[in-house]
């Protein structure tokens, strides 16, 4: 299981765009402009690859902090979301070099020049961010408009070399810079920013990062993904041992990653629905159901994620064909997706929700049994859960407690603009294990 870094980042950047539809395509446009500037300034290829990654994910921290589109457009309250983005990205080893660029991507060059050229890429993202927002909607950046844009941001905001590179880019485009099509920008970025494929040891922490962003949409769901991923992983392992006598480690890792990404489509669901303190009405539920469809779409066209995409996104399908998003039934549903369905329901029943407390283990198993009786879930998977209920529940509960601590710490750190707290946050965000949890995973 090896995944192309640009393909993966394109997919996850689309997920970020879903949260702020009015800024859809913003990350891609910023990355393309920043990459063009980086090439013009002859930045090393490795640095340009980090620049690409940072630009494609530069506003990731705006999601957990509920930063508005207007705040991003007009550069209000920038310190909080840049710090949150840094804190999130820095917990993933291969993203740490890019994380520092995210941290400083709204900081004026006049405050960064003492760093030498180390933080030049951060300032290029800043410049590209302002240029992309000007170009949105098909606007053209000619020489006059460019000088007007730069005049509005005078006073040492941008590195002089970056400004000259933007002028040169405009000149190379016939004096009238416009954003190419999304397909052209992706092609240019893939050509310039080729990176080694991710192996499972690096893929899992990256997907874990996006599970955090998904869960941070709402304090009411802040631990759900961690619970589902760990439950699905151990349930798959115990089920395969019980039914076949062996476990394919590769498949087990895929199940864990599918659990991490199973709700990524919720980035496209209105936050008000995710935070509603009560049952959803008919129309609201119809909107909520689209998250499974969004998950399928977001992870499409990422070679190597085909199984993970299906196993995660089909967790609301039912054996009797009455689930969603595709209405598949029986043998059309692969075993890992059936396991994911049971893990998702079990976790949802056991965790606290805005309108009820988590259920007892016995009550949750009774509800699952009723669902199996009605043809909703796989009885053999439920039998494994029943036989291993105490063990599996300990793993789930421990994973969700750790996720709650991460959630609380992020909000504490981002509410207090103290640099020492940022370092403390980075330390507390220990990287997740490179492999799925073992059966003996601690419940602490």
- Per-residue pLDDT at 64 exceeds 90: no
Tens digits of per-residue pLDDT, 310-368? 999 999 999 999 999 999 999 999 999 999 999 999 999 999 877 788 999 999 999 99
- Per-residue pLDDT at 395 exceeds 80: yes
Decide if 5-192 and 200-428 have a common fold. Answer: yes
- Per-residue pLDDT at 431 exceeds 50: no
- Per-residue pLDDT at 421 exceeds 60: no
- Per-residue pLDDT at 194 exceeds 90: no
Q: Residues 139, 144, 148, 154: what is their CA dihedral angle, to the nearest 10 degrees?
A: 120
Categorize the per-residue pLDDT at 439 as very low, low, confident or very high, splitting at 50, 70 and 90: low
Do residues 205 and 431 touch, judged by C-beta distance below 8 A?
yes
Residues 6+ apart with CB under 8 A from 426: 87, 90, 91
- Per-residue pLDDT at 300 exceeds 70: yes
Q: Percent of the chain, pLDDT > 90? A: 52
**How far, rounded to the nearest angstrom, does the alpha carbon of residue 268 sit from its chain's CA centroid?**
12
Residue 415's pLDDT is 59
Write the CA distances from 16 to 23, 127, 213, 229, 275, integer angstroms: 10, 20, 9, 21, 19
Residue 443's pLDDT is 46
The CATH superfamily assigned to 5-192 is Hypothetical protein af1432 (1.10.3210.10)
Categorize the per-residue pLDDT at 68 as very low, low, confident or very high, splitting at 50, 70 and 90: low
Instruction: Give the C-alpha separation, 372 to 292, whole Å.
Output: 21
Region 281-296 average pLDDT:
93
- Per-residue pLDDT at 128 exceeds 90: yes
| Structural domain boundaries in the chain | 5-192, 200-428
Tens digits of per-residue pLDDT, 235-281? 999 999 999 999 999 999 999 999 999 999 988 888 888 878 778 88
Residue with tokens 């009411």: 220
Residue 416's pLDDT is 58
Closest CA relative to residue 264, chosen from 241, 286, 231, 294: 294
Instruction: Give the C-alpha separation, 35 to 162, whole Å.
Output: 11
Instruction: Give the C-alpha separation, 64 to 76, whole Å.
Output: 16
Decide yes or no: CATH 1.10.3210.10 for domain 200-428: yes
What sign results for the dihedral spanned by CA atoms 187, 303, 255, 310? positive
Residue 38's pLDDT is 97
């Amino acid at each position: 299981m090896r995944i192309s870094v640009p393909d993966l980042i394109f997919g996850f950047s689309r997920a970020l765009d879903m949260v702020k539809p009015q800024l859809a395509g913003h990350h891609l446009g910023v990355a393309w402009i920043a990459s063009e500037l980086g090439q013009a300034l002859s930045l090393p290829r490795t640095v340009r690859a980090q620049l690409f990654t940072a630009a494609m994910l530069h506003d990731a921290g705006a999601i957990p902090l509920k930063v508005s589109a207007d705040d991003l457009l007009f550069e209000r309250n920038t310190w909080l979301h840049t710090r949150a983005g840094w804190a999130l990205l820095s917990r993933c080893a291969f993203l740490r070099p890019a994380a520092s660029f995210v941290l400083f991507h709204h900081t004026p060059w006049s405050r960064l020049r003492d760093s030498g050229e180390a933080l030049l890429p951060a300032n290029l993202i800043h410049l590209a961010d302002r240029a992309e927002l000007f170009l949105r909607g098909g606007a053209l950046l000619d020489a006059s408009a460019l000088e007007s844009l730069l005049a509005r941001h005078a006073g040492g905001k941008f590195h002089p070399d970056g400004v000259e590179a933007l002028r040169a880019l405009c000149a190379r485009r016939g004096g009238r810079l416009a954003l190419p099509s999304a397909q052209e920008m992706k092609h240019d970025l893939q050509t310039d920013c080729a990176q080694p494929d991710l192996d499972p040891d690096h893929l899992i922490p990256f997907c874990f990062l996006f599970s955090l962003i998904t869960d941070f949409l709402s304090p009411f769901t802040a631990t759900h993904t961690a619970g589902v991923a760990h439950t699905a992983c151990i349930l798959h392992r115990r089920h395969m041992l019980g039914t076949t006598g062996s476990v394919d480690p590769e498949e087990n890792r895929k199940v864990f990653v599918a659990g991490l990404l199973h709700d990524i489509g919720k980035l496209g669901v209105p936050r008000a629905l995710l935070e509603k303190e009560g049952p959803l009405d008919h129309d609201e539920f119809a909107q909520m159901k689209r998250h499974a469809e969004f998950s399928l779409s977001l992870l499409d066209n990422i070679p190597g994620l085909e199984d993970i995409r299906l196993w995660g996104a089909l967790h609301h399908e039912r054996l009797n064909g009455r689930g969603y998003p595709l209405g598949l039934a029986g043998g059309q549903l692969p075993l890992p997706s059936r396991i994911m369905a049971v893990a998702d329901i079990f976790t949802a029943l056991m965790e606290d929700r805005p309108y009820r407390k988590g259920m007892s283990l016995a009550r949750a198993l009774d509800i699952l049994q009723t669902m199996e009786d009605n043809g909703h879930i796989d009885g053999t998977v439920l039998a494994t859960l029943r036989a291993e209920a105490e063990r599996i529940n300990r793993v789930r509960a421990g994973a969700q407690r750790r996720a709650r601590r991460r959630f609380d710490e992020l909000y504490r750190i981002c509410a207090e603009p103290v640099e020492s707290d940022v370092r403390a946050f980075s330390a507390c965000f220990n990287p997740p294990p490179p492999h799925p949890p073992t059966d003996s995973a601690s419940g602490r």
